[in-house]
Structure 1
Amino acid sequence: MAIFKFYNIQLLPMNKKINEVGDEGYCKLFNAIKIQIKETKEKGHRLSSMAIKMKGEMFFAPYSVTIKEYASDDVKKPNKIVHGYFLKFDDVNELVDTDSGELEYRSKGNTSSRRFELEFVFDPKNHILAIHHTKGLPSRGPLIDALDKVLSGAAHILYPEHNLDIEELTDADSIEEFFAKPKKGFKNYTGTVTFSNSDDFEEIIEPELRPLVAQAELELKDKSVGKWTMKYQSFKDHLMSDLPINAKVQMMLATQYGNAESSYTDEEGKDKKYQMEDYPVREPLEGSPEGILDRSLSILGLIRKAKTRTRVSKNVRGQNKVFLTSNESN
């Protein structure tokens, strides 16, 4: 059964006078990658010529991009979805005998001893990319770096007034579990959230806190601030009794728009650490849908489900008030 991970890919206006690119803009970005692949092949160049160099003599490159249309509420403007594959591979042209070092084989070029095909689907409306979590998929940091380098060239040419930002989606259940654990206190907290393209913020924030978030977002956009980074630390050899509300709000947003971590001491006095990157959203693809469009639409369903999983449950936010009150279990 194929498992997918999810990444929020945003083209963020760097000036409040600049419009967001919309789903058509994201399609243009991936179409530019499609053209780049086609031109590379037509010129007879190696795939490695457009690949990103990774550690361990490995390369990462887009291999194919297909943009399909499917029915929408507006018959005059169908929805679009992007399907494709990335490749992670090495580029080995010579093989030598392990003992003697003598040449055993020399290829004509463009040969690999390790090759991993990584299927992806990108939803332009939610600007979320699903990628097959299988053997060869880079870990969070290297993958985000590779995706950024693959997309940033075309993004800069098409949208010079926008900044490319990529974040991995985090399972909000991990935050719920983190706050539910009894603790003596917190040592520190660090978090970052990208504020633009944040149409869904109201859905994941307590009603009484929405004005605070809206005001902060408006100010950050007005001043062209790209990221909201926050850090709290206790006094030496002491603990914070709880995390500030701002940190809790930021954590709710970071599941989809950023990253956060916190060190704390549990009720037994043991030092622990919560890191969002340890809890990525992962979803299985049921069955084996055939055809690019049918398969893409099946994976699109996973994307929508994954986005829902980044939202802290209303039960936790509303009835238990986990994020708005002190940790009563201390």
Structure 2
Amino acid sequence: MAVFYYFNVQVLPDSKEHGFIGKSGYKQIFTYLSQETQKNMSNKTIGKIAVKLKNDFYFAPVKIEVKDNYAQGYFRKFDQITSLKDFYTNSDVEFRGEKGLVTSKAYNFHFVFDFKKHILAISDYENRLPAPSVLEKCFEELISLELDKVSTHHHVESIILKDGTELKTLLDAPRFKSINSSITFSNPEDIEEFLEENVLERELREHGVNKLGATFMAAAKGYITGLPKVAKAILKLSTKFGDAKGQYWDTHADKYKSFALHNFPVKIPLFRNKKMSDDQYFTDIHSSIEDADNKTKG
């Protein structure tokens, strides 16, 4: 059984004059990325679009199929080798292959990207998936490869979804030493009317603010009693659009503790029946994106 992680991959305008690319724009980008992936797989040059990871590993799409409402396929984490050594003689062992075409370790990960929600779901098997902070940069880099074909006035931001229920730890705390949070603004389809936090988001976005960072800190020997409305609004948005951390008073432990929202990513396990086709499994993955989105709301 695989566990899936979810990333809010946003293509955002550099200024408000340029607007948002919408569902059709995301579909265009993945169509171009699919074509580029297919070309490099056929030519055995996938290294041209692969993102370099630590420890001599790389990360790249190896198959992308574009559907009406989402893209599906596989990412691969792999190393590249040019020679092998005999364990006993420590001498090179010959093998067929050229540089960039031979790997000793390779791991495939299912993914689905929803064009309307701009959320990407990706599987993890046996903890082989790169760290979330690494994947955020990978998705930004890979989407940026094809972004200029759609627009030269936009950029990519990728943020892992966090579990909104974990915010209760902060929201219910009686006092705080500090709260730090940041959010990167969404496409307009994400706005839910009359929710205070989204009214805040809409107002700042309309004024051309792309990112908001807020720090609430008590005096050296003091503490914050309760959270201001603006702090609560930013915290609620940070599960989908950013991150948050803070020092809060734990009444049970009778001391201040640290909280980091990035320690609580949204994770959903999906079981695949042996009789299930690939398309059926991808459909289940796509369906889980709605559940993941709801988990950010707590």
TM-score between both structures, scaled by the size of structure 2: 0.89
Does 2:260 align with 1:275? yes
Q: Judging changes above 3 Å, is the alpha-carbon distance between structure 1 residues 178 and 98 closer, same or farther for their aligned structure 2 residues?
A: farther
For structure 1, list consecutive stretches of 5 or more residues without a partner in the other structure: 70-79, 313-330
Distance in 2 (alpha carbons) for counterparts of 1:176 and 1:216:
21
Q: Which residue of 1 aligns with 2:84?
A: 95
Please tell me whether the aligned partners of residues 220 and 226 of structure 1 are also in contact (alpha carbons under 8 angstroms).
yes
Determine helix, strand or coil for the equivalent of 1:300: helix
Please tell me whether the aligned partners of residues 6 and 129 of structure 1 are also in contact (alpha carbons under 8 angstroms).
yes
Q: How does 1:151-166 map to 2 (within 5 A)?
A: 151-166=143-158
Q: Which residue of 2 aligns with 1:131?
A: 122
Distance in 2 (alpha carbons) for counterparts of 1:14 and 1:167:
18
Determine helix, strand or coil for the equivalent of 2:35: helix
Q: Which residue of 1 aligns with 2:247?
A: 263
Q: CA deviation at 1:147?
A: 1.1
Determine helix, strand or coil for the equivalent of 1:157: coil
Q: Judging changes above 3 Å, is the alpha-carbon distance between structure 1 residues 231 and 107 closer, same or farther for their aligned structure 2 residues?
A: farther
Aligned-residue Cα RMSD (Å) equals 2.2
Does 2:104 align with 1:113? yes
TM-score between both structures, scaled by the size of structure 1: 0.81
Q: Judging changes above 3 Å, is the alpha-carbon distance between structure 1 residues 204 and 68 closer, same or farther for their aligned structure 2 residues?
A: same
Q: From 226, 233, 247, give the equivalent of 2:210.
A: 226
Q: Judging changes above 3 Å, is the alpha-carbon distance between structure 1 residues 67 and 290 closer, same or farther for their aligned structure 2 residues?
A: farther
Q: Which residue of 2 aligns with 1:59?
A: 58
Please tell me whether the aligned partners of residues 13 and 196 of structure 1 are also in contact (alpha carbons under 8 angstroms).
no
Determine helix, strand or coil for the equivalent of 2:233: helix
Distance in 2 (alpha carbons) for counterparts of 1:203 and 1:261:
27
4+ residue stretches of structure 1 with deviation over 6 A?
none
Q: CA deviation at 1:269?
A: 4.0
Q: CA deviation at 1:98?
A: 5.0
Determine helix, strand or coil for the equivalent of 2:149: helix
Distance in 2 (alpha carbons) for counterparts of 1:30 and 1:105:
39
Determine helix, strand or coil for the equivalent of 1:56: coil
Q: Judging changes above 3 Å, is the alpha-carbon distance between structure 1 residues 292 and 159 closer, same or farther for their aligned structure 2 residues?
A: farther
The residue type paired with residue 162 of structure 1 is H
Distance in 2 (alpha carbons) for counterparts of 1:81 and 1:216:
26
Determine helix, strand or coil for the equivalent of 1:23: helix
Count the aligned residue pairs.
Answer: 293
The residue type paired with residue 20 of structure 1 is F
Does 2:27 align with 1:35? no
Does 2:179 align with 1:189? yes
Distance in 1 (alpha carbons) for counterparts of 2:180 and 2:146:
32
Q: Which residue of 1 aligns with 2:49?
A: 50
The residue type paired with residue 254 of structure 1 is S
Please tell me whether the aligned partners of residues 83 and 292 of structure 1 are also in contact (alpha carbons under 8 angstroms).
no
Distance in 2 (alpha carbons) for counterparts of 1:164 and 1:247:
26
CA displacement, residues 62-113 of structure 1 (integer Å, 9 cap, x when unaligned): 11000124xxxxxxxxxx2211100001001212245653223444231111
Q: CA deviation at 1:27?
A: 0.9
